[in-house]
Amino acid sequence: MAQARVAVKEGAEQQPSHAAIDNGNPANLKPKYLVLDDINIDLITVGVTTCTLISIFAFHFPTVIYSCPALITGASSGIGAELSYIFAERGHDLILVGRNEDQLDAVKSNVEKKYRKTAYTIASDLSLPGAAM
């Protein structure tokens, strides 16, 4: 087992790693321009947030997000059916997957009537091996 390092007297010869520990690890190459301290991190955060907001309002980014279809598994009843209604209400088209085809068709017709969104159904038991392929 290695012994603990004993403090070396000033001016005595010691290993560079020990000198670095004793002197607070002084670096020969200190960054001059990009020092990541609290102020610069805050400035970077403000810059990224500003660019994001400009891109959202200038390029209508949220319309691209909301036009994507949502894939909902277990959509024939329960939480999956409720999620399909929530996503349809928020403007998504739906891909509904569940075991019971009759219940899937009922959820599909409810979504299309109430929210006027397109819904596609896939009757499949995803708990079976290879069913998702």
The CATH architecture of the domain made up of 66-123 is 3-Layer(aba) Sandwich (3.40)
- Roughly what angle, to the nearest 10 degrees, separates helices 101-114 and 78-89? 20
pLDDT for the residue 88: 92
CB 58 within 8 A of CB 32: no
pLDDT tens-place values along the chain, 133 residues long: 455 555 556 666 655 555 555 565 555 555 556 555 666 667 777 778 887 777 777 766 555 555 688 999 999 999 999 999 999 998 889 999 999 999 999 999 999 999 999 999 999 988 888 877 7
E strand or H helix at 53, and its extent?
helix 38-59
pLDDT for the residue 7: 55
Residue-range domain boundaries for the chain: 16-61, 66-123
